[in-house]
């Protein structure tokens, strides 16, 4: 089973981190939930304490969305988390929706950051005027990316700092030294690219739709989407598209919030989770 952080007691809450992040992405949200929730934050496959040096030699397909969902179902089974509120941002967003699609009877609700519906993927990702925002997803396909960054703490810090500073909008979105140390272990950065190289990324989803592939099926679970209006990857004009994947979602656009929702909008995210648990609002 995946390595994980666990605290609190009450209704089960499963929090899924993004790239380039880790379980510590939930360091501000967790304390706002532990009085009413059993908060579980897995280190996703190949990240944090779930990484082992042998992972660097595994095929990228071992880190695709289906494998992530299977690993999370194992967590649900191992900890008897039923039904669970699933929280996610970045990689954790589409993984949360995929988990709810795979085992809808085991998901009480979904609370996510920015979520692009099928109609918004091409305008947001493939429009030539916006492609520069997604350069890293092309770069991650190249062996050069790992050769330049993997195992070099200074290179890892410089590379990750670009994303944390560019994608984040509030001071809470700060790159931690511990995260740099995790990604700087030999093989860890290379392994983290498996998500992109497996074809699970936003760019591949947009390309598949542009080539006539089927749109993902909607997931009929209660949901809240907290859309950071300052996220450079997902502009707020696409917020309404989230309901294409989560028809029951309450979509809220948060001014002044960037990409790292659990850190930049921890109180708002905690309030949404607590509402789905039927608990009181966040204590003052």
Q: Is residue 259 part of a domain?
A: yes
Q: Is residue 130 part of a domain?
A: yes
Q: Is residue 283 part of a domain?
A: no
- Residue whose pair of structure tokens reads 């934050």 in the numeric block: 41
* pLDDT value at residue 280: 66
Domain that holds residue 229: 4-277
* pLDDT value at residue 82: 86
Rounded Cα gap, residues 169 and 153, in angstroms: 25
Q: Is residue 282 part of a domain?
A: no
Q: Is residue 25 part of a domain?
A: yes
Q: Is residue 101 part of a domain?
A: yes
181 alpha-carbon distance from chain centroid = 20
Per the CB < 8 A criterion, the answer to whether 186 and 53 are in contact is: yes
Per the CB < 8 A criterion, the answer to whether 8 and 35 are in contact is: yes
Residue 26 pLDDT exceeds 90:
yes
Residue 178 pLDDT exceeds 90:
yes
Rounded Cα gap, residues 221 and 55, in angstroms: 34
* pLDDT value at residue 283: 65
Q: Is residue 72 part of a domain?
A: yes
Residues 268-282: pLDDT tens digits? Answer: 999 999 999 997 676
Number of domains in the chain: 1
Pairing of β 107-112 and β 37-42: unpaired
Nearest residue to 23 (alpha-carbon basis) of 182, 196, 164, 254: 182
Q: Is residue 179 part of a domain?
A: yes
Residues 206-231: pLDDT tens digits? Answer: 999 999 999 999 999 999 999 999 99
Mean of all residue pLDDT scores within the chain? 96
* pLDDT value at residue 15: 98
Residue 134 pLDDT exceeds 90:
yes
Minimum mean pLDDT range among 136-140, 178-182, 210-214, 245-249: 210-214
Please indicate whether residue 210 or residue 167 has the higher confidence score (pLDDT): 167
Task: Give the CATH number, domain containing residue 12.
Answer: 3.40.50.1820
Rounded Cα gap, residues 107 and 37, in angstroms: 15
Q: Burial, 275: exposed, middle or buried (Cβ in 10 Å; 0-12, 13-18, 19+)? A: middle
């Amino acid at each position: 089973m995946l390595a994980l952080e666990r605290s609190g007691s009450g209704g089960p809450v499963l929090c899924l981190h993004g790239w380039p992040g880790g379980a510590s992405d939930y360091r501000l949200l967790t304390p706002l939930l532990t009085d009413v929730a059993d908060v579980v934050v897995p280190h996703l496959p190949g990240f944090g304490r779930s990484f082992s040096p042998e992972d660097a030699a595994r095929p990228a397909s071992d880190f695709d969305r289906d494998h992530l969902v299977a690993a999370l179902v194992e967590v649900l089974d191992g900890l008897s988390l039923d039904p669970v509120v699933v929280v996610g941002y970045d990689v954790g967003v589409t993984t949360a929706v995929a988990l709810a699609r795979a085992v809808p009877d085991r998901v009480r609700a979904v609370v996510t950051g920015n979520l692009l519906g099928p109609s918004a993927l091409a305008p947001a990702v493939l429009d030539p005027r916006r492609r520069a925002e997604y350069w890293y997803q092309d770069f991650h396909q190249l062996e050069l990316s790992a050769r330049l960054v993997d195992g070099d703490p200074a290179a890892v810090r410089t590379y990750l700092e670009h994303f944390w500073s560019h994608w984040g909008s509030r001071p809470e979105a700060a790159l931690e030294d511990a995260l740099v140390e995790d990604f700087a272990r030999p093989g860890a950065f290379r392994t983290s690219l498996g998500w992109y190289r497996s074809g699970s990324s936003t760019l591949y989803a947009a390309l598949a739709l542009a080539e006539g592939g089927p749109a993902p099926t909607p997931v009929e679970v209660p949901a809240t989407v907290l859309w950071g209006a300052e996220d450079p990857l997902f502009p707020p004009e696409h917020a309404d598209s989230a309901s294409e994947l989560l028809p029951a979602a309450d979509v809220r656009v948060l001014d002044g919030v960037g990409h790292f929702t659990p850190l930049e909008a921890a109180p708002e995210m905690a309030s949404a989770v607590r509402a789905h648990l039927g608990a009181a609002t966040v204590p003052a």
